[in-house]
């Protein structure tokens, strides 16, 4: 499928506010998962500032309410409304409850929540490895459940927050839950982030006739988030020193939200679907992980991989 390239108006230092400047989202509704901190907060801020009514989908609704109150105090009066909904992506019952409570069309779904590199193997109540379950399966179930609302909105956009960490591993279909291989926090994180990208490919393929576009992205190297809350403070530093991890220059949280906001709302990517972005532009393919600080692995955009993951995910969330 031929898609338009993003004009080079934005880049690595662009902020979410700069991306949304001049965009009118009044009358549109958005859901942002993980909007209780970091990039999720700034994504919600930008969309609401442009007039969208935004639901902050969070595990801790008290914390979400505090964030909503702070944003309401900071946003201009013509901004969209902010509401808070409970969503624990590790608990399928809360995903089902969130979907059941939704009424009316949904124009923007941003799958931003995530967990990164817990040092020990943990599983969700239904037996799935936690990173794959939270980062991919929970978002998959949410998007599939909200599909009728997305299809009803005439031009909905799905934004799937992936990571350069997808270069650590493809989806290992024969051992998603580390029942046969030793658990490794980074390959586990990697396959979950690859799954985020493949989900966008699969949704683009299946839901194009509903007017829905879906894209994945790398937000950047953003230190001001709670993503690494499960990690030992020295873990990332040791990993970088070992040569196993290369990172691009660090971004602020408002710069980190820019690519999510671009894909959620900017007219410059109208009609673009099934792609992987970074620094507000489509990423270039990379052939190997060594030394890479940008780019997308071919396996993360492979249609056969996406179709296999979709079928497997449907079976796992039934």
Angle, CA of 104, 40 and 183, to the nearest 5°:
110
Neighbours of 22 (CB within 10 A): 9
User: Which member of 183, 189, 276, 299 is catalytic?
Assistant: 189
276 is catalytic: no
Spatial neighbors of 2 by CB under 8 A, at least 6 apart, are: none
Q: Which residues are catalytic?
A: 189
């Amino acid at each position: 499928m031929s898609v338009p390239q993003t004009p080079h108006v934005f880049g690595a230092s662009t902020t979410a506010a700069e991306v949304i400047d001049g965009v009118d989202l009044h009358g549109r509704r958005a859901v942002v998962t993980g909007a209780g901190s970091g990039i999720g907060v700034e994504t919600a801020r930008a969309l609401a500032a442009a007039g969208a009514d935004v639901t902050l989908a969070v595990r801790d609704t008290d914390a979400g309410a505090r964030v909503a109150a702070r944003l309401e105090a900071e946003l201009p009066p013509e901004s969209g409304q902010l509401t808070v909904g409970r969503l624990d992506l590790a608990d399928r019952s809360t995903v089902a409850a969130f979907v059941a409570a939704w009424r009316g069309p949904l124009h923007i779904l941003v799958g931003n929540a995530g967990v990164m590199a817990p040092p020990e193997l943990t599983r969700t109540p239904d037996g799935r490895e936690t990173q794959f379950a939270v980062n991919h399966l929970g978002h998959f179930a949410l998007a599939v459940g909200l599909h009728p609302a997305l299809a009803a909105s005439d031009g909905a956009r799905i934004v799937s927050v992936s990571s350069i960490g997808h270069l650590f591993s493809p989806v290992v279909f024969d051992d998603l839950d580390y029942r046969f291989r030793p658990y490794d926090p980074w390959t586990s994180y990697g396959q979950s982030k690859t799954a985020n990208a493949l989900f966008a490919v699969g949704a683009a393929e299946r839901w194009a006739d509903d007017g829905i576009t879906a894209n994945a992205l790398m937000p950047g190297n953003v230190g001001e988030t709670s993503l690494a809350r499960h990690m030992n403070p020295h873990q990332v530093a040791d990993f970088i020193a070992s040569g196993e991890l290369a990172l691009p220059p660090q971004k602020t949280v408002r710069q980190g939200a820019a690519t999510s906001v671009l894909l959620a709302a900017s007219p410059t990517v109208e009609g673009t679907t099934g792609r992987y972005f970074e620094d507000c532009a489509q990423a270039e393919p990379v052939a190997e992980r060594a030394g890479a600080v940008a780019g997308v692995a071919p396996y993360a955009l492979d249609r056969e991989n996406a179709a296999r993951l979709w079928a497997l995910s449907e079976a796992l969330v039934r």
